[in-house]
Amino acid sequence: MRPYEEQRFLLASDGYTPAAIISYHYGKNFFVFGEGSLHARQDDIITDFRRFAGRDILIVKKSVPDMAQYAPYFNGVESRQFELRGVTFYFVLGYGFNYGNYRKFVLKPIKDKYYNIPAFLPHAPCYFCEKYFPEEPG
């Protein structure tokens, strides 16, 4: 994995648990790329996809990636596989991250699913909504 890091890839995984485990063992933060589960909301606190616009991202996966799921978010994508201790893993190498598409097709559904607080309930400001959707009422 280190040769890719040297090529200035941002490091990610497709879920919170793999991202947390890899971050611990690798010694560098891996963020969650994609919706993830409700646990990935912890990653929402520290990850800011706005800062990733135009950057290259390496996503570690445990299963063969469906490249059609990643293509809308990059100018180009490719997949590589590698073996570690007898287990096959995959990299999705995304070149030129398209934040606009990611905001529309990933972050907006996350907002609607996990951060849709009913107006009749009292609540504090929402860091996720303020970060990505400041123009929308929260």
Chain segment 53-65, per-residue pLDDT in tens = 999 999 999 999 9
Q: What is the pLDDT of residues 82-111, one digit of tens each?
A: 888 898 999 999 999 999 999 999 999 999
Strand partners, 78: 93
Q: Is residue 136 part of a domain?
A: no
In a domain, 122, yes or no: no
Q: Show the domain range for 49.
A: 2-99
Q: What does the pLDDT look like over 123-137, one tens digit per residue?
A: 888 899 999 999 886
* Claim: this prediction has a pTM higher than 0.85: yes
Closest CA to 94 of 22, 11, 19, 17: 11
Note whether residue 120 is domain-resident.
Answer: no
Query: What contacts 24+ positions apart, CB below 8 Å, involve 34-40?
Result: 34/69, 34/106, 35/106, 35/109, 35/110, 35/113, 38/114, 39/15, 40/15, 40/16
* Number of domains comprising the chain: 1
